[in-house]
Amino acid sequence: MWQLAAPLMLLLLPLPFLATRLLPADGRVGGALKVPGAIAASHGTADPTAAATSGARLAAWAAWIALVFALAGPRIVLPAEALPTTGRDLMVTLDLSGSMERTDFSLNGKTARRLDAMKDVAASFIRGRGGDRVGLIAYADQTYVVSPPSYDVEAVAKALDGFAIGLVGRSTAIGDGLGLALRRLSKTDAKSRVVLLLSDGVNNAGVSAPKDVAGLAKEMGVRVHTISMGPRDIPEGDGNPDVVDVKTLREIAEMTGGRTFRVKTTEDLQAAMKAVDQIEPTRSLAPPAPIWRELWPWPATLAFFAAAATVLIRSRTG
């Protein structure tokens, strides 16, 4: 099935014809002597430019018609399947502080940095969220939106490849990271809004207190699921920087109606992501989104060559 994106452009087709009829004729008179065709033919002097002039006129009309048709935007509607959708916006908010460099997790049977384990598990989780609009936020000293909410979960998962320690600092601004996620969600009209917040440390940077931001999330109706990552809690750490504030992360989840998960290994992290995947609503089908194949380059190309032919013919007979 094909259609025109701007069918009203076809109203331009008679414009040259109207111009020749309505605009005043050129009053200049040429110096050539016009000879009636019958006389010229009897003397073997038929006007050699007559056929060329007619050809130039036809080429010019062909160029104009093809150009107008290209401007009208011909296109074909391609078949598309219904898209799965949940009506949910999910912001995955990940810790990118210096402690994520520690090599106390495993990946493919080998010791790995927390960062690499997180990237691997988070990428698998995001790819499995087809139907959600998923966004990605990184935070440390500063916070930034790596990817705004999108149905293209593959592209969001690929964005994790660019994660590197030091990209946004080395401290941990949990409150600011959660606050940025809420700002992004405040701009959407999704029926369900969720934040998945992962941290392996203690809030020691930024301007927002995590519990205050959690209160805002509760007012907005945003559920926050939290993941406390790392082998040691604050009570065990005795001031050691290699600890995670499990208590604060648990309170954030409880205030907003979310779930909290304590992970000390890569297997724990995989289980936490699987649990989050299961506790959110199931998918439904949305109307298929139209996919178009644009055809305007073809008439546009024809218009170009027809115009070039017009110029060439007139230059030879001029």
Cα–Cα distance list, 256 to 137, 217, 224, 260 (Å): 19, 6, 6, 11
Instruction: Tally Cβ neighbours within 10 Å of residue 192.
Output: 15
Distance in angstroms (rounded) separating the CA atoms of residues 217 and 232: 27
pLDDT at 238: 47
All structural domains of the chain? 51-80+290-318 (no CATH), 83-286 (3.40.50.410)
Q: At residue 204, what are phi and psi to the nearest 5 degrees?
A: -135, 20
Cα–Cα distance list, 194 to 132, 221, 259, 275 (Å): 10, 9, 11, 14
> Mind listing the pLDDT tens digit of every residue in the chain (318 residues)?
788 989 999 999 999 888 888 877 655 544 444 545 544 444 554 455 666 678 888 999 999 999 999 999 999 877 665 556 778 999 999 999 999 999 999 999 999 999 999 999 999 999 999 889 999 999 999 999 999 999 899 999 999 999 999 989 999 999 999 999 999 999 888 889 999 999 998 999 999 999 999 999 999 999 999 999 998 776 644 445 568 999 999 999 999 999 999 999 999 999 999 999 888 764 555 555 567 788 999 999 999 999 998 888 888 876
Residue of 291, 237, 269 lying closest to 94 (CA atoms)? 269
Cα–Cα distance list, 17 to 13, 21, 57, 87 (Å): 9, 6, 12, 54
Distance in angstroms (rounded) separating the CA atoms of residues 87 and 286: 10
Q: At residue 208, what are phi and psi to the nearest 5 degrees?
A: -110, 130
What pTM did the predictor assign? 0.64
Residue of 9, 132, 2 lying closest to 68 (CA atoms)? 9
pLDDT at 33: 46
* 56 token code pair: 């130039």
SS3 (DSSP) at 290: coil
Asked if 200 and 95 touch (Cβ cutoff 8 Å), the reply is: yes
Residue of 252, 244, 235, 242 lying closest to 268 (CA atoms)? 244
Q: Which residues, at least 6 apart from 255, have a Cβ–Cβ distance to it below 8 Å?
A: 211, 214, 215, 217, 218, 224
Partnered with residue 284 across adjacent β-strands are 85
Torsional class of 142: left (φ above 0), alpha (ψ -120 to 50), beta (otherwise): beta
Question: What's the angle, vertex CA 248, arms to CA 125 and CA 177, rounded to 5?
Answer: 55
